[in-house]
Amino acid sequence: MKALDDQFARYQASSDRAERKQLAEQIQRTILEKYYFVPVFRHAFINAIGPRIAAQKWQDVFPTVTTGYCYPWEDIRLV
């Protein structure tokens, strides 16, 4: 949007603190009112132990609570 780009250019060019504050609030208001936000993310540590994993407890597959990665891969046995 050209108008938003122009507002941002004015914000960057300004050295007046009050004007920058007003422009920043105006830019934020415009974005919130005229644009859609679709959060795009993934949970990096969604892990589970299913019936095909030969483990008695989760610690056998996820040896520490400081990581969500199961390791070592070569030690994980399937049923």
Using an 8 Å Cβ cutoff, are 20 and 14 in contact? yes
Q: pLDDT value at position 35?
A: 87
* 3-class DSSP assignment, residue 53: strand
13 vs 22, 25, 27, CA distance in Å? 14, 16, 14
Q: pLDDT value at position 46?
A: 64
Q: Say what the pTM is.
A: 0.48
Predicted confidence pLDDT, tens digits, the chain (79 residues): 798 999 999 999 999 999 999 999 999 999 999 988 887 776 666 666 778 888 887 777 777 766 667 667 777 778 8
Question: What residues does each domain of the chain span?
Answer: 2-34, 42-79
Q: What angle do CA 60, 62, 43 make, to 5 degrees?
A: 150
